[in-house]
Each structure stands twice: as C-alpha cells, then as structure tokens.
Amino acid sequence: MSNSIPSNGEETKNKLDEYRKSIDNIDAAIINMLAERFKITQKVGIYKAKYNLKPADKKRESEQISRLRKLSKDAQLDPDFSEKFLDFIIEEVINHHKRFLNSE
Amino acid sequence: MSNSIPSNGEETKNKLDEYRKSIDNIDAAIINMLAERFKITQKVGIYKAKYNLKPADKKRESEQISRLRKLSKDAQLDPDFSEKFLDFIIEEVINHHKRFLNSE
C-alpha cells in the first residue's frame, strides 16, 4: 500500500480501462445468457401450468445446487456464492411465474 | 389449466428434461463467466489498492447500470432485474475485496 500513483497516470488509466472493457464484455454475455435462461424457464412455467405439474421441484433444485457447487470449484469460484446466485435467479423465475399467472 | 397430464407421460418428462438440460448448459456458461469476471475484479482491487485509488467509483457504476439496462431491453430482459443483478455481483466483489484486505 506504500506505492504512490505511477508517474505515468495515463498508464494506470489504460490498465483500468482494459480491465473494465473485459468486465463489460463478460457482463454483456451474462445478460444475454440470462435472457435465454428466462425464455426457457418461461416455457417450463407454461408447460407445468398446462399439465398441472407443481411449480417447485425440490429434488431438481437440490441437484442444481450440487452441480453448480461442483462446477464452481472447478472454475475456482466460491461455491457458496454460486448457491446464492442460483437462489437469486430462482427467486426471479418465481416472480416471472407469478406475473404470468396474474396476467392470465 | 384444464389440461390433464398428457397420455404419454414419458413425453412430458422428455420435454421437461430438454428444457432443464438447456438451463444447465446456460448455468454452466454463466458460472464460468462469473469466475472470469471475479478474476478481473480481483486484479482491479489489487491495482486500486496498490495505487491508493478509491475502491468504489460511482461514475463507473452508473455507466455500468445504464449500459446493462440498455442491453437488457435489446435482449428482452427486465432492466430492473439486470440492475438488481449488477448490485448482487458488486456486493460480492466488495466482499472479495474485504477478504483480500483482511488476508494481507
């Protein structure tokens, strides 16, 4: 922490810009993936409603969690974070389903 | 909602399995993207600490939000969800930075 700003401030800015451009590219990819994911969960929701299948499936959810935790370890990502991430997404899927049922 | 389970129960299961396989593929892609994203934000954190730059950058964050909202609209994803998603990720980045500083 004893380092001061590099003499060439421009260089610092370029390095940060480089990182940020990569983050922006990754975010764009994730947003597009999420859009595809919600298209599919919407189809799942319609399908389950049509055939009176239960909206939630605890067995499936627990399989997803185990799988994501394993994938995370392989990718050196915190498995607890991935589980939180899946919860976050599933919560949104439930919101989507509720909105869909209300619009029926 | 008046439809009963299709006469061919196997068909229903196959259709659901097909959707779920796509969801699993997308989730694996997102997990790997997130792993890459955190690798870069970790570099940003180290870089900012090294040169005594402020960890948070409100201008950058507001640019990210506008950009993600626009991308979401193009991808037919709820822009409010994308903003929540970015908040969720940034919160984790802050947790990473704290853990990094504590381990120093």
Model pLDDT for residues B57-98, shown as the tens digit of each residue: 899 999 999 999 999 999 999 999 999 999 999 999 988 878
pLDDT over 70 (residue A8): no
pLDDT tens-digit series, residues B19-54: 999 999 999 999 999 999 999 999 999 898 888 888
Model ipTM over 0.85? yes
pLDDT at A54: 85
Cβ pair A91, B81 in contact under 8 A: no
Q: What number of residues does chain A have?
A: 104
- Chain B: nearest CA to A98, how far in angstroms? 15
Test B85 with A82 for CB contact under 8 angstroms: no
Q: Of the candidates A29, A31, A19, A12, which has an alpha carbon nearest to the alpha carbon of residue B40?
A: A19
Test B35 with A92 for CB contact under 8 angstroms: no
Which of A2, A34, A80 to mutate: most B Cβ within 10 Å?
A34
Per DSSP, the three-state class of B9 is: helix
Residue in chain B lying closest to A60 (CA) = B20
Average of per-residue pLDDT across A4-12: 65
Test B75 with A32 for CB contact under 8 angstroms: yes
Query: Which residues in chain B are contacts of A6 at CB distance < 8 A?
Result: 51
Query: Which residues in chain A are contacts of B34 at CB distance < 8 A?
Result: 30, 75, 77, 81-82, 85
Test B23 with A4 for CB contact under 8 angstroms: no
Burial of A72 per CB tally in 10 Å (0-12, 13-18, 19+): buried
pTM here?
A: 0.86
Element counts in chain A: helices (H) and strands (E): 3, 0
pLDDT-derived band of residue B101, with 50, 70 and 90 as boundaries? confident
